A and B are shown apart, each in its own frame.
Chain A
Amino acid sequence: GAGVSQTPSNKVTEKGKYVELRCDPISGHTALYWYRQSLGQGPEFLIYFQGTGAADDSGLPNDRFFAVRPEGSVSTLKIQRTERGDSAVYLCASSPSGEGTRDYEQYFGPGTRLTVT
């Protein structure tokens, strides 16, 4: 079946602008995660949704970052007043949380490469 999809694949924006990054999880997956990956590093957690609600947003670096998942499926990560330090690959993952032995597994999308100039 279809995997996790993310759009756009690449986004170049100017410092100070607002951006939105979209994630379409695997159909039926109730849990959704956002991670940020800097060059040469492992993914770092940003926020986790269970259904429509943010169950854990402890990884969001500051209040310029915000994410929503209004209908429990698609999620949007929003970054206000972008800074050059926000440049990274933003990864989305979904999980069949609650389905017995598979509930730990997280499946990642291809990511959105954000470049702030």
Chain B
Amino acid sequence: GENVEQHPSTLSVQEGDSAVIKCTYSDSASNYFPWYKQELGKGPQLIIDIRSNVGEKKDQRIAVTLNKTAKHFSLHITETQPEDSAVYFCAATPHTGNQFYFGTGTSLTVIP
């Protein structure tokens, strides 16, 4: 089955700086890669996703890049704000209806 690795496990940045979280996956059949933000005591919230036919996707301050050859994808948050502080999870899945395989999470702290 798929194996998703995520790093770093913790990340602290100054407000206004950028944050980058990286994930690798093992199954070349994976073709959908979502990113979730989870705040304390809440369920994961989908923030951005990318499909294998796209190399980069951007939504305001958040962007995701995908390198299918190297089997890795990254989340980029620019101009970080204190409210960006949360745990972020990457995931991968090979096709519709299949389970998501999640990374182990990155705890992001944005220091005001």
Whole-angstrom distance from the CB of A104 to the nearest CB of chain B?
5
Cα–Cα distance between A50 and B95 once the two chains are bound (Å): 14
Q: Indicate the size class of the contact surface on chain A.
A: 20 to 34
Cα–Cα distance between A50 and B99 once the two chains are bound (Å): 12
A46 to B, closest residue via Cβ: B99
Interface locus among A66-74, A75-83, A105-113? A105-113
Cross-chain pair count, CB within 8 angstroms: 65
In the bound complex, do residue A110 and residue B43 qualify as a contact, i.e. CB atoms below 8 Å apart?
yes
Whole-angstrom distance from the CB of B22 to the nearest CB of chain A?
15
Candidate in B96, B101, B103, B104 with the most chain A CB atoms within 10 angstroms: B96
- Which residues does chain B contribute within 8 Å of A31, judged by CB atoms? 97
Interface locus among B11-19, B44-52, B77-85? B44-52
**Does A45 interact with chain B (Cβ within 8 Å)?**
yes
For chain B, residues 13 to 38, give those with C-beta under 8 angstroms from any C-beta of chain A. Answer: 32, 34, 36
In the bound complex, do residue A43 and residue B45 qualify as a contact, i.e. CB atoms below 8 Å apart?
no
A109 to B, closest residue via Cβ: B43
For chain B, residues 56 to 84, give those with C-beta under 8 angstroms from any C-beta of chain A. Answer: none
Chain A residues proximal to chain B, CB less than 8 Å: 4, 31, 33, 35, 40-45, 48, 50, 55-56, 59, 91, 95, 97-98, 103-111
